[in-house]
Amino acid sequence: MFLLGWGLHVIDHLLRGMTASPMFVMAGGMIQGVIVIVAITMALRAQSRAPDLAILTGVGSAVVFTYAHLLPNFWPNFQDSYLTGPRINVTWFSWVTALSEIGTGLLFAYAGLRAKRTAA
């Protein structure tokens, strides 16, 4: 599910245009994308550290995306706020994908927590 939420959010950024977000947000998103792919791959391979990375990736993504998109601009170079300007090409799809990524990130973290408890 997290892969779907993350993928939809990537599609939204492509639809909005690569210049709609500050460079720091785009670079951070690319780094986060690599971490997401690694975490999901580890989970699918049932590697021993997968639950820890799922928790870190899921919670980290939810916190960072909440800061980047759902809070007013505190540091405009480090945010792409949907609440305060400039809100370049932000649509209902932007909101749905951001919220879905946050929600599925939390579900991924919860799955990691459950896997960790089961293994203990």
- Assign 3-class secondary structure to the chain: CHHHHHHHHHHHHHHHCCCCCCHHHHHHHHHHHHHHHHHHHHHHCCCCCHHHHHHHHHHHHHHHHHHHHHCCCCCHHHCCCCCCCCCCCCCHHHHHHHHHHHHHHHHHHHHHHHHHHHHC
* Statement: residue 91 has pLDDT above 90: yes
The pLDDT of residue 77 is: 85
Q: Which residue has the higher pLDDT, 43 or 88?
A: 43
Band of residue 87 on the pLDDT scale cut at 50, 70, 90:
confident
- Is the pLDDT confidence value at 16 over 90? yes
User: Taking 80 as the threshold, does the pLDDT of residue 75 lie above it?
Assistant: yes
The model's pTM is 0.90
